[in-house]
Amino acid sequence: MKVANKVFVVTGGGNGIGRQIVLLLVHKGAQVAAVDISEQGLLETKGLAGDLSSKISTHVVNITDLKTVEALVDQVTAFHGSVDGLINNAGIIQPFVLFNDLTYPQIERIMNVNFNGMLYMTKTFLPVLLKRPEAHIVNLSSMGGFLPVPGQTLYGASKAAVKLLSEGLRSELLSTNVHVTVVFPGAIGTNIAVNSGVMTKEQAATQEPGKIKFSTPEFAAQVIVDGIEKDKYHVLVGNDAKLMDFLSRLAPERAAKIIYGQMKSLLP
């Protein structure tokens, strides 16, 4: 599906990959309903669009609140007239601790944002998308959704759930006009640790870059939008995601040990 002249809803549109997806879509001729829990972030995204800002509506929404999500449909259609695409980008990581040390409130928050929020948005907007001549759903999983990452085990489980729901939904919709793509970003240079409440801005500023090479949010957005236009089943963002996807299929235990070796210094 070509994105020009289409209307997209993008969650997490106030920062990181979501912000760059919003900006890229409007530059390619689409309209966007940008959704985020941060009003300031949304206003910054809209400001960055410059002369194209009129193509963006902003919606401060907690995607874990089903009633608020259900009310969003009328708000978006009132502004844009229709909806042709949904990009579930919003997500958080967990604190870098062992599974045994996670609290239940932490567990519930991660699952609510990463899985239930995506579920609410998808189920709420799907009936609208089914009425369009062509439509597309994009759900962001993670490299951690197919590969175990110590210290992010619960996060990985939430993203694995996103993967399987997306693949199952695509199969169910094969005879319809709605297509589904699942995205697996590798290491992306965003503020997700700060936005997730895992560390403060001051702590993030003191972190050493390390040996991990990060892809940019701009690059991620380009790969994701290309995936929509080419109707891809899976989209892997970054050479790290591509390599570990291959290795996890070829030698899953070896792949797990490689990631453990990279992550063990962050573990307690």
Helix 252-263 / helix 239-250 crossing angle, nearest 10 deg: 140
Residue type, 12: G
CB atoms within 10 A of CB 77: 14
Query: What is the phi-psi region of residue 50: left when phi exceeds 0, alpha when psi lies from -120 to 50, beta otherwise?
Result: left
| Active site (catalytic) residues | 155
Start-end of H helices in the chain: 16-27, 39-48, 66-80, 104-111, 117-129, 153-172, 192-195, 201-205, 217-229, 239-250, 252-263
End-to-end CA distance of the chain: 46
Sheet holding 85-88, edge to edge: 56-60, 31-36, 7-11, 85-88, 135-140, 178-185, 234-237
- Nearest CA among 150, 217, 133 for reference residue 183: 217
Write the burial class of residue 122 (CB in 10 Å: 0-12 exposed, 13-18 middle, 19+ buried): buried
